[in-house]
Amino acid sequence: MNRLFFVKRMAWLLCGAFLLAALSLPQTALAAETGGLRYTVTVTKFENRAGWHGQWDIGDAWGLVMTDILNQSGRFIVLGEKDMRNEAMREQDLASSGRTAQGAKAPVTGQLTPAQLLVKGAITHVQETGRSGGGISIGGVSVGGGGGKAEINATIYIVDSTTGMVLASTSVVGKSTSSRASISYSGPGWSGGYSNFQKSNMGKAVEDAVAQGVQWMIGQLPKVPWRGEVVLVQDGAVYVNRGAREGVTPGQVFLVGTANVIRDPSTGEVLDESVSEIARLQVTTVKEKLSVCEVINGDIGAISKGMMIQRQ
């Protein structure tokens, strides 16, 4: 039993090492630029415009791998894919209809976490030659594989969920050959036939492309506004609706003030949004979804519920 535990432990350590090496994330520089703050994101199914058809739905596979790697990166709050969120809403609607047993475990409406960023895109080219197979599978983690090669091209978009505008886009090319080691992932979405997809060269090419896409997404974060709101001012403290879940840590400093929104008079479209600074807050206590701050510059009497905060 101890030997089996050791083998599984080593497999997961190898998985983490390969993942970090594949992403090559400049964590220190990014943390300095973003303060280590996280953004809520959801992945929509990628369109298969390559005309590739196989045993697996490549668009679904892409979404599963990207959701997993985004989550493992530690830079995002990853929400369920669109189909899972739709299922959650159906369960909430069923519970609110009164047809289910009511209790503390019953799902309620009004609690879904909104996504700030939407990730979508299209698979534009797929090429596969030769056959693949083999490798070692330990505790749901597959290392290595057989011969052959595969290539997948995809275009990725980051969309602002508030405005629907494309914030950034890029194209990635993922490749897999017999000389390249790979790590595959195991989870609820990879049951049945998907385990074979993980071991295939196409699966490895998807992982390679997704890793590139996630690295690119993380590089865009300094350009994406990170904001929150004041939810309470009481007893000399200011409470804001961002906490450990969003990467807030004690000692961080935020600007607080009123939001200035400039709209196009003919279309109503938001052209620019900024914060008129009233004071500066420093985080003293962090909870899961809430932080308590003290005023280090400015008048606490001028701060009120609903005011916007943003990173310094």
Domains and CATH numbers, the chain: 2-79+115-223 (3.40.50), 227-311 (2.40.10.410)
How far apart are the C-alpha atoms of 189 and 212, rounded to whole Å?
21
Phi-psi region of 124 (alpha: psi -120 to 50; beta: other; left: phi over 0): alpha
pTM for this model (two decimals) = 0.68
Q: Mean pLDDT highest for which of 103-117, 150-164, 241-255?
A: 241-255
Q: For residue 31, what is the enclosing H or E element?
A: helix 27-34
Cβ atoms of 138 and 11 within 8 Å: the answer is yes
Mean pLDDT of 82-108: 54
Over 90: is that where the pLDDT of 248 sits?
yes
Residue 116: pLDDT band with limits 50, 70, 90: confident
Lowest mean pLDDT among 61-70, 131-140, 293-302: 131-140
Cβ atoms of 262 and 273 within 8 Å: the answer is yes
How far apart are the C-alpha atoms of 142 and 154, rounded to whole Å?
24
DSSP tag of 188: G
Q: What is the chain's Cα-based Rg?
A: 23
Q: With the CA atoms of 240, 244, 247 and 251 taken in that order, what torsion angle do they form, in degrees rounded to the nearest 10?
A: 70
Lowest mean pLDDT among 62-71, 104-113, 122-131: 104-113
Nearest Cα neighbor of 39 from 224, 279, 232 is 224
Over 90: is that where the pLDDT of 278 sits?
yes
Over 50: is that where the pLDDT of 249 sits?
yes
Residue 76: pLDDT band with limits 50, 70, 90: very high
Secondary structure (3-state) at 60: helix
Over 50: is that where the pLDDT of 108 sits?
no
pLDDT confidence of residue 287? 95
Q: pLDDT digits over 207-217, tens only?
A: 899 999 999 99
Over 90: is that where the pLDDT of 111 sits?
no
Cβ atoms of 293 and 233 within 8 Å: the answer is no
Outline where 109-200 has alpha helix (H).
194-199
pLDDT confidence of residue 89? 52
pLDDT confidence of residue 20? 45
Cβ atoms of 312 and 253 within 8 Å: the answer is yes
